[in-house]
Amino acid sequence: MSRQMVRPGGRSARVQASVHAAVRELASEMGRDALTVPLVAQRAGVTPSTIYRRWGDLQELLSDVAVERLRPDTTPGDHGALPADLTAWAEQFLDEMASPAGRAYIRDALLGDPDGGNAGQCSAYAAEQIGLVLARAAGRGERTPDVETVIDQVVAPMMYRILFRPDGLDAAYAQRLVAGVLAPAGDTA
C-alpha cells in the first residue's frame, strides 16, 4: 500500500489519482515495460521525487495501481439461490483474473509488495464478495459454507492454476469447484 495515509479529497489523494491515471494512460500507450518513474511523473505533473518518496520505486507504484484495478466494481449478482450466485461469481472472477490483463495485475500486485499488504488486499476483495453472496443465501434460509472454506476450495485453486498451472482453465472448471464446495455430505464421491 502507499506509504502515506491518504486523506480523501486532500492534496495527497489528488497526487495519488493523477499518478495512477498517468500509469494507466502510459501503460496503454507505450506498454507496461516502457514505464519509468520520470515518464510517469511528467505525465502526472509531479516531480519524480514525489513518486519515490511515496511509493519507493516503480514496482511498488505498479503494485498499488494493480490492486486498484483488481478492486471489484460491482456487487455479486442475485440469481435467487446460492449455487447460481456462487457459480456466476466464480466464473466472472476466473474470467477476469485469467485474462492477460488480470494476470499482469496479479503479478504486479504480488511483486512490488514488500510487506504483503497489496496481496492481502486482493484476497480481502474476494473474501468480501464471497461474504456478500453467503450472507444473502443465509438470509434466504440456505445452508452455506463459511468464507474461508470457499477461499480454500474455490478461490485458491483458481488463483494457484492462474499463477502456476494455467492449462485447462475454463468456466466448467469454476463450476466444478463451486459444486464441490456446496456438495452436501454423502454427495462428494
Give the whole-angstrom CA distance, residue 154 versus residue 46: 42
Q: Which of 1, 27, 119, 179 binds its own copies (CB under 8 A)?
A: 119
Nearer to its own copies, 79 or 161 (CB): 161
Give the whole-angstrom CA distance, residue 85 versus residue 63: 30
DSSP code of 140? T
Q: Which of 107, 131, 175, 179 binds its own copies (CB under 8 A)?
A: 107
Mask for 71-90, x = binds its own copies (CB under 8 A) = --------------------
- In this structure, are residues 159 and 97 in contact, taking their beta carbons and an 8 Å threshold? yes
The grid coordinates listed for 52 are 519515490
Minimum CB distance to its own copies, residue 28 (Å): 20
104 is a contact residue toward its own copies (CB under 8 A): no
Give the whole-angstrom CA distance, residue 69 versus residue 127: 17
What SS3 class is residue 177? Answer: helix
116 is a contact residue toward its own copies (CB under 8 A): yes
Give the whole-angstrom CA distance, residue 128 versus residue 83: 18
Nearer to its own copies, 1 or 46 (CB): 1
Give the whole-angstrom CA distance, residue 147 versus residue 126: 10
- In this structure, are residues 89 and 130 in contact, taking their beta carbons and an 8 Å threshold? yes
187 is a contact residue toward its own copies (CB under 8 A): yes
31 is a contact residue toward its own copies (CB under 8 A): no
Q: Which of 18, 92, 153, 175 binds its own copies (CB under 8 A)?
A: 153
Region binding its own copies by CB under 8 A among candidate stretches 5-13, 74-82, 128-136, 155-163: 155-163
Q: Which residues bind its own copies (CB under 8 A)?
A: 107, 110-111, 116, 119-120, 122-123, 151-153, 155-157, 159-161, 163-166, 177, 183-189
